[in-house]
A and B are shown apart, each in its own frame.
Chain A
Amino acid sequence: MLGLGPHASFIIAAYAVAFVALGALTVATVADDRKQRRLLADLERRGITRRSAKPRPAATPTVTRTAP
């Protein structure tokens, strides 16, 4: 294989740790993204869309004079 010299295990370990840590981060990020997209698609399929999510029109209250 490669001649990595006397410290081969450290070099391999460093690359392995970087690979595992960044790989896990990538997998977790992509999985989260997928999950949110699935949830959103699911909600929209059931007819709950952003249009229906539009808040009910807010109250526009008025102040009336009730006494002199």
Chain B
Amino acid sequence: MNTPFTVTLEARGVACDRGGRRLFEDLSFALAPGEALLVQGPNGTGKTSLMRQIAGLLPLAAGEISAKGAEAGTPTAELCHYVGHLNGVKTSLSVRENLTFWADYLRGDATGGDVNAALGVFGLAPIADIAAGLLSAGQKRKLALLRLFACPRPIWLLDEPSVSLDVASVERLRQAITGHREAGGIAIVSTHVPLGEAFTHTLDLHALDMAEEPAP
């Protein structure tokens, strides 16, 4: 788990188009190992889109995103964990089976990470052999977040990770992000819940104020 990560993430002049409209453009930032970025902004300003762009799931309308310091030739997407609004949890598989699959799949031929240790992070170990379909929304959310621990990757992309989590689990998540940073990892998180002083950078994706527009 304590692999020291040495990856830096850099975005240069990134623009994002959604549904024929440009959400944002000319976005640049660089995150060194151990730095974390908080993404803020009202709905529809491109928080999710930015995450998906970094994860390689959405094309860039302009600019580029690159990660340096990893093994040459590794695509940025393979350095990232993305936990979005959907959990990627199969209801008919048990908690352990879900996690084991993602660990095996995401690791590929590499080694590292530990499913059993990961199960302990949010206290899901006692229900490890229960079908995930029986879990509450919060527990499914925790299961999705456990991917972060079962397969170590330097960059965490967390889109509203605190949704349906209780206060104690949010605190646990905050600790996890801090621990990830101490190991040299990068975290990019969008959230409405204050996660304390876990972040070194802030990105405000404010919409242009609607009222400023001249009325027709």
B90 cross-chain contacts in A, Cβ below 8 A: none
Bound together, the chains give a CA A19 to CA B28 distance in angstroms of: 60
In contact, B200 and A60 (Cβ under 8 angstroms): no
Q: Please, which residues of chain B bring their CB within 8 A of the CB of A52?
A: 216
B37 touches A58 (CB 8 A): no
Q: Which of B110-118, B151-159, B166-174, B204-212 contacts A (4 or more CB under 8 A)?
A: B204-212
A51 to chain B, nearest CB (A): 12
> Range of interface residues on chain B?
20 to 34
Q: Are B26 and A60 in contact (CB under 8 A)?
A: yes
Q: A50 an interface residue at 8 Å Cβ cutoff? A: no
Partner of B24 from A47, A59, A64, A68 at Cβ < 8 Å: A59
Question: Given A52-B216, A56-B213, A58-B23, A63–B206 Cβ distance below 8 Å?
Answer: no
Q: Is the CB of A60 within 8 A of B22?
A: no
Collect the chain B residues with CB atoms within 8 Å of residue A47's CB: 216
Q: For B199, give its contact among A56, A60, A66 (CB under 8 Å).
A: A66
B45 CB to nearest chain A CB (Å): 7
What secondary structure prevails in chain B residues at the interface with A?
Answer: strand
Q: How many residues of A contact B (CB 8 A)?
A: 17
Whether A60 lies near B25 (C-beta < 8 A) is yes
Cα separation A66 to B37 with both chains bound (whole Å): 9
Is B27 an interface residue, CB under 8 A from the partner? yes
Question: Is there an interface contact between A63 and B15, defined as CB atoms closer than 8 Å?
Answer: no
Instruction: Known A52-B216, A67-B199, A67-B200; judge A61-B206 contact (CB<8 A).
Output: yes
Interface residues of A in 26-68 (CB under 8 A from B): 47-48, 52, 55-68
Contact A59 B208 (CB under 8 A): yes
> What residues of B have a CB within 8 angstroms of the CB of A60 in the complex?
24-27
Q: Which residues of B contact A55 (CB under 8 A)?
A: 21-22
B204 partner, pick from A56, A57, A61, A67, beta carbons under 8 A: A61
